A and B are shown apart, each in its own frame.
Chain A
Amino acid sequence: MELITTLINGLSLGGIYAMIALGYTMVYGIAKMLNFAHGDIIMVGGYTILVFLNLTGSPILATCFAIAFCVMLGVLVEKLAYKPLRGSSPLAVLITAIGVSYLLQSLAQILFGSASKMVNVGYLDSLSFGGITVQGYTVFTLACSIVVMICLTLFIKCTRLGKAMLAVSEDRGAAQLMGVNVNRIITITFVIGSALAALAGLCTLMKAPTISSTFGSMPGIKAFTAAVIGGIGSIPGAMLGGILLGVVESICNRVSSIAPYTDAIEFGILIVILLIRPTGFLGKKRREKV
């Protein structure tokens, strides 16, 4: 019984990681950059929920506002900080992304103070069937992530825009020659990634209702790890990696003797998996040709 509850908790945590990892992996696949500021978009989403929850009192409305705000912020960051650097060395873009991450964190500290704040996004009743009791937020997170994954898969597979995104990630130059507007595709990627980050922020807040300026750092790094485990650049890979990492974390947290080493175990798994499969589970192997 307890094992099943742990697994369900793990799946829901994995759902959060998968939602964040999708943002990392899509941006990496399409813009070929590691967006280290992605974790801080989650933090911004969390704070926006806090502000609009106080203004409107409705969690649903606050979430909608948070998604809209994060999307605007993501696009703004892309236009101001990353677009001027397109075509320069990847390391420069990486450092800029880290600069943006510091900037967002310090702005949050200035605006909201460095002490952590409580955010009461509402309580969902826990469900129980057949002797298994599952927390309400777990079910919500699980449902959320499943819906997001299905929608995203359908979007990529079935729409013209989704196919254009696939084409850009496959070969940017060729896609441009076929008439795909690469700049627009990159903007749309950031829109989707930021919206998912805001949603992940909501789910994290439902799980633990406190927020501070480093709210998104650790989930961000973990989700990045998940994206790499699944093969960075691959959308199903990000889902797989996220869920794997969530389940592992949830199991480790249940076993008291190894609970303090949860982070170390997760990163250790990453190293082992990369040693066995150097491009992650579903990553494409690129043969270098001379």
Chain B
Amino acid sequence: MKEERISQKTGGFLRAAKKVRWKHYVNYIVIAVLLIVFSTSSLTGGMRSSSQYLLEKIAISMILAVSLSMLVGFLGELSLGHAGFMCVGAYLGGKTAAILSASLGNGFLTFLIALLAGGISAAICGIIVGLPALRLKGDYLAIVTLAFGEIAKSIFMNSSNETFGGALGLETPRYDRKSLFILAFLLVLLTLAVIQNMIRSRHGRAITAIRDSEIAARATGINVTRYKLIVFAMSAFFAGIAGVLYSYSNQTLQSSKFGFNYSIEILVMVVLGGMGSINGSLIAATLITYLNVKLATILTGNLAILQNLIYATVLILIVIFSNAPALSGFREKYAPMNLWRRKRTAKVDPALRRDDAKSWSRIPTKIKMDELLSIDTRPEEHRAVRLEGDKPERRD
């Protein structure tokens, strides 16, 4: 009865179902529309190369943030070494591209093979790092990922000149700047499609179940080992792809760039975007990268050192404001989502509003606590001792 009334009001149950589905695709559509706008303006020559560089950086950050979000937000394992996977992907992909561009030419095919090489090598590292994850918990795992990142950095830093360039850096082939960011955004769409569909599938629910309680997940028959390794491998694979893009975007690779600080920057995107929210990490990745690149161009010379100060202060304030238990009332009152919701609920016909207390009392299985507590649980013979008219006494 109630549903009928609602459906009359909103214009049919079908439309409601459709609305939910649109919500699932909104991030693809936004990115695709922006991509079409930007690529037309780039291919017609109306875009500065600094903007193209910025867009490449944003795409790389998006891939990194979404892939880390899967590991931290959905599997619930803290990783402090995401830049390490990126480093492996960047170096191996960049090296592959450098070798192949001699024979195949510096074209799309080389790019594709380099992507696969970088992604797969990073994924193998992901599985290797994921193996300790099966035994370790929480902060101990975090330090292992940190250690992995530092090891990867150190190995590439000390490589010889012929292999990976060592301290001088590895020269990697460049791609036409006009179209590299388009490829990068297509890869963002691919990453989103794979990770988002995975999370929304049965496997994704298994992964979030592991996050919420590993023991309960194991008890329901979820293969925790397999899922943990899969998530580590996938997350590392996309980080590796981001690394290959990075190597195409910056023509010289310096392994010192992929240190602890870069891993933290990616983690900050995920945390500020909201744990377990892919759209949140996309938005945070865009904003943080945009601010970093813009601040670096605006603040030059003596002002350049202010960049970190601003970044650090804003970071601390945002985290305290959005997490402090003392401010939770304030947050709930003024959160934009809640303001919007309040307006919407205010418009709903009062007759349609559910009265929770009423429906609760209608449920026939409601336990009557008073009656339960007054039941005398003593054995029969003890009960007989009781005087007539005595109240049942409770024994603890």
Contacts and interface: CB of A to CB of B under 8 A. Distances in A.
B132 interface: yes
26 contacts: A34-B142, A81-B316, A84-B326, A85-B323, A85-B324, A87-B325, A89-B275, A91-B72, A92-B271, A92-B319, A95-B319, A96-B316, A99-B319, A103-B313, A217-B260, A225-B147, A228-B143, A261-B155, A261-B158, A264-B155, A267-B146, A268-B147, A270-B143, A271-B147, A275-B132, A280-B140
A109 B305 contact: yes
Nearest to A107: B309
Given A106-B305, A221-B260, A267-B150, A274 B139 contact: no
A268 B307 CA distance: 34
Contacts of B264: 98
A279 to B, nearest CB: 7
Contacts of A91: 72, 78, 271, 275
Contacts of B150: 221, 263-264, 267
A95 B264 CA distance: 8
Contacts of A268: 147, 151
Contacts of A34: 139, 142
Interface string B133-151: 0011101101110111011
A86 B327 CA distance: 12
A102 B320 contact: no
| Secondary structure class of chain B's binding surface, majority of residues | helix
B265 to A, nearest CB: 10
Contacts of A270: 143-144, 147
B309 A103 contact: yes
Interface residues of B, number: 47
B13 interface: no
A115 B311 CA distance: 21
Contacts of B151: 263-264, 267-268
A37 to B, nearest CB: 10
Interface residues on A, range: 35 or more
A91 B322 CA distance: 12
A271 B132 contact: yes
What are the 3 A-B residue pairs with the smallest beta carbon separation, nearest first?
A267-B147, A106-B308, A102-B312
Given A95-B268, A103-B312, A263-B150, 19 more contacts: A81-B316, A87-B325, A95-B271, A99-B315, A99-B319, A100-B312, A102-B312, A105-B308, A106-B312, A107-B309, A109-B308, A217-B260, A260-B154, A261-B154, A268-B151, A271-B132, A271-B144, A274-B144, A275-B132
A88 interface: yes
Interface of B: 72, 78, 132, 135-137, 139-140, 142-144, 146-148, 150-151, 154-155, 157-158, 214-216, 260, 264, 267-268, 271, 275, 305-309, 311-313, 315-316, 319-320, 322-327
A34 B146 CA distance: 13
Contacts of A81: 316, 320
A221 B259 CA distance: 12
Given A95-B267, A114-B305, A270-B143, A102 B324 contact: no
A266 to B, nearest CB: 8
A102 B308 contact: yes
A50 B144 CA distance: 35
B255 to A, nearest CB: 12
Contacts of A86: 325
B352 to A, nearest CB: 36
A92 B260 contact: no
A84 B324 contact: yes
Nearest to B128: A271
Contacts of A94: 78
